[in-house]
């Protein structure tokens, strides 16, 4: 018997009458309130050390919590105890915003997927900065693992003012970030994905250039020529790496019982995304000649999926949907099974 899949998950999936967002908030709050002895017990069970240096940052292991799980950084002591080697908080925006109307989060259980159109619900960059300030700067004792900060565009800000909007968040948060993730790939903010265009991403990267590594998170729905163009700009502007990928607009891979979710607006994640994310990671790695370190994310549901993403060229991996369906055992299995990657000094 597996405690998470046989006991904890069914109970969590029943919370709030089966409402996925209710279960998410409930769990986050519980994790945020765990007392020190509980954290220590989790740490003994799940923490796994296999340090690696990527884009100048030391990671205790290769497995991170993906953006969107803990947008406001409320449970930052829990994630390392659950085995994660880094945490990406956010996406936050310069202005606090409520996100899209509910319901906006749907489990595709038979497919081991999620459809979401959260729309960057978050407390804003200033609130996150305040929270991170309590922990101190990168490297301080209350930060046992690196914290990446994911930035997005406020919904009310017109696309043509996007750079200023990202910059406002960046100014508040850069001194607390081990790395910055520029999220230009959420399908849930109108027009956001157009910021992946050559000129837009160039302007953004130029504005955010500084001592903190900046990574660009891309969509799995981009064509290879579009990715190639984006990579050129990333290399030219000194981006530290690529995060591949965000959720997909495709509905391929949904099991028959989940087909009704195909018509829900939003991005699909989890098992239906596994193969496409790997393709994108492989393309980014090959096309950039290994010069841009990659954080691989999308459909990692097993240690084997993670190893295959690392083999495709990722240096680090992140979990979201796999963690929801498989729990902390997956984090440990991935951290333990993540094979040291072959050559490439950049990695
Ligand atoms: C409910 C939900 C909210 C998300 N929010 C964000 C977000 O705020 N920023 C972001 O960059 N990615 C966000 N993502 C995308 C994930 O970080 C990840 O890239 C994607 O889900 C693919 O990984 P997975 O298959 O392991 O879930 C979100 C995903 C889900 C399911």
Flag whether 106 is in a domain.
yes
> What is the average pLDDT across 250-254?
96
Is the separation of the CB atoms in 92 and 345 below 8 Å? no
- Choose one of 68, 154, 242, 324 to mutate for the ligand 1 pocket test, by most ligand atoms within 8 angstroms of C-beta: 68
In a domain, 55, yes or no: yes
Question: Is the predicted pLDDT of residue 17 greater than 70, yes or no?
Answer: yes
Q: What is the residue range of 322's domain?
A: 44-337
Contact (CB, 8 A) for 334 and 306? yes
Angstrom distance (rounded) from CA 175 to CA 178? 8
| Within-domain flag for 2 | no
Polymer length in residues for the chain: 347
The CATH number of whichever domain residue 173 belongs to comes to 3.20.20.70
Whether residue 29 is contained in a domain is answered as: no
What is the reported pLDDT for 340? 53
DSSP string, 227-262: HHHHHHHHHHTT--EEEE---BS--TT--GGGGGGG
Ligand 1 centroid to residue 37 C-alpha, Å:
30
pLDDT reading at 130 higher than 60: yes
Query: Is it the case that residue 338 has pLDDT exceeding 90?
Result: no
Catalytic pick from 154, 169, 186, 200?
Answer: 186
Identify which has the larger pLDDT, 110 or 188: 110
Atom 23 of ligand 1, nearest CA residue: 298
d(CA 80, CA 90): 17
On the question of pLDDT at 344 being above 80, the answer is: no
Number of domains composing the chain: 1
List pocket residues of ligand 1, CB cut-off 6 Å.
66-68, 71, 90-91, 105, 114, 116, 118, 120, 150, 183, 186, 217, 246-247, 269-270, 273, 297-300, 319-322
For residue 343, the model assigns a pLDDT of: 43
Cα separation, 205 vs 167, whole angstroms: 10
27-79 confidence digits (pLDDT tens): 999 999 999 999 999 999 999 999 999 999 999 999 999 999 999 999 999 99
Confidence of residue 191 (pLDDT cuts 50, 70, 90): confident
* Residue 196, pLDDT above cutoff 80: no
Check: CB of residue 288 under 8 Å from CB of residue 235.
yes
* Residue 28 within any structural domain of the chain: no
Which pTM was predicted? Answer: 0.96
In a domain, 188, yes or no: yes
pLDDT at 125 over 50: yes
Q: Is residue 347 part of a domain?
A: no
Q: How far is CA 75 from CA 19, 90, 98, 138, 266, in A?
A: 21, 12, 20, 17, 26
In a domain, 327, yes or no: yes
Instruction: Report the pLDDT value the prediction gives residue 200, as an integer from 0 to 100.
Output: 87
pLDDT category at 346 given cuts 50, 70, 90 is very low
Question: Binning pLDDT at 50, 70 and 90, where does residue 186 land?
Answer: confident
């Amino acid at each position: 018997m597996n405690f998470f899949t046989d006991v904890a998950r069914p109970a969590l999936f029943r919370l709030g009458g089966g409402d996925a967002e209710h279960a998410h908030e409930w769990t986050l709050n519980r994790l945020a309130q765990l007392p020190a002895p509980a954290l220590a017990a989790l740490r003994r069970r799940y923490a796994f050390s296999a340090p690696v240096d990527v884009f100048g940052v030391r990671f205790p292991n290769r497995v991170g919590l993906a953006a969107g799980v803990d947008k406001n950084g409320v449970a930052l002591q829990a994630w390392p105890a659950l085995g994660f080697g880094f945490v990406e908080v956010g996406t936050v925006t310069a202005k606090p915003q409520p996100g899209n109307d509910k319901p906006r989060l749907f489990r595709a259980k038979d497919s081991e997927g999620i459809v979401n159109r959260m729309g960057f619900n978050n407390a804003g960059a200033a609130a996150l900065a305040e929270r991170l300030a309590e922990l101190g700067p990168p490297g301080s004792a209350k930060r046992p693992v690196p914290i990446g900060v994911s930035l997005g565009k406020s919904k009310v800000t017109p696309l043509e003012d996007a750079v200023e909007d990202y910059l406002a968040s960046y100014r508040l948060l850069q001194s607390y970030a081990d790395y910055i993730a520029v999220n230009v790939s959420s399908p849930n903010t109108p027009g956001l994905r157009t910021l992946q265009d050559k000129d837009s991403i160039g302007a953004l990267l130029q504005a955010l250039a500084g001592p903190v590594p900046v990574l660009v998170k891309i969509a799995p729905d981009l064509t290879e020529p579009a990715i190639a163009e984006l990579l050129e700009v990333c290399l030219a502007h000194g981006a530290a790496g690529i995060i591949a990928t965000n959720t997909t607009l495709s509905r391929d891979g949904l099991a028959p019982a989940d087909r009704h979710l195909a018509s829900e607006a939003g991005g699909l994640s989890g098992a239906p995304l596994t193969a496409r994310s790997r393709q994108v990671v492989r393309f980014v790695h090959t096309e950039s000649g290994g010069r841009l370190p990659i954080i691989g994310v999308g459909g990692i549901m097993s240690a084997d999926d993670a190893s295959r993403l690392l083999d495709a060229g990722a240096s680090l991996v992140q979990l979201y949907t796999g963690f929801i369906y498989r729990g902390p055992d997956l984090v440990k299995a991935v951290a333990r099974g993540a094979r040291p990657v072959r050559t490439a000094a950049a990695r």
